[in-house]
Amino acid sequence: MTGLGRWLELAIAGEDIRIQNGDAVMELRPVGASGPPSSNERLSPREALHRLQAEARLTPDQAHQYLNDVYDERLAAEARRPA
């Protein structure tokens, strides 16, 4: 299969499909039955941020600040651990 059908199959299989046109970036991903993650689904921090950004609930600047905050918290937690 070629063209759009192939892109659809890849997206359904879980591949990240992004199409850029100038400054606009579109993402092709399944919606509906798969919907948002269930409460027992464990996402990696990267995937969680990616989903928030893809759903336009988190700007790139907010994501960057969030990652910095998480990094700072991790460093502080590691500094508190006994050697």
Closest CA to 43 of 52, 56, 31: 52
Beta bridge partners of 25: 20
User: Given this model, what pLDDT does residue 41 score?
Assistant: 66
What is the Cα–Cα distance from 14 to 50, expressed in whole angstroms?
Answer: 13
DSSP letters, the chain, are --THHHHHHHHHTT--EEEEETTEEEEE---SSS-SPPTT----HHHHHHHHHHTTSS-HHHHHHHHHHHHHHHHHHHHHS--
Is 54 in contact with 29 (CB distance < 8 Å)?
A: yes
Q: Retrieve residue 83's tokens.
A: 């050697």
| Per-residue pLDDT tens listing for the chain (83 residues) | 567 778 777 877 778 888 888 888 888 877 754 455 555 567 777 777 777 777 666 677 877 888 888 888 889 888 888 86
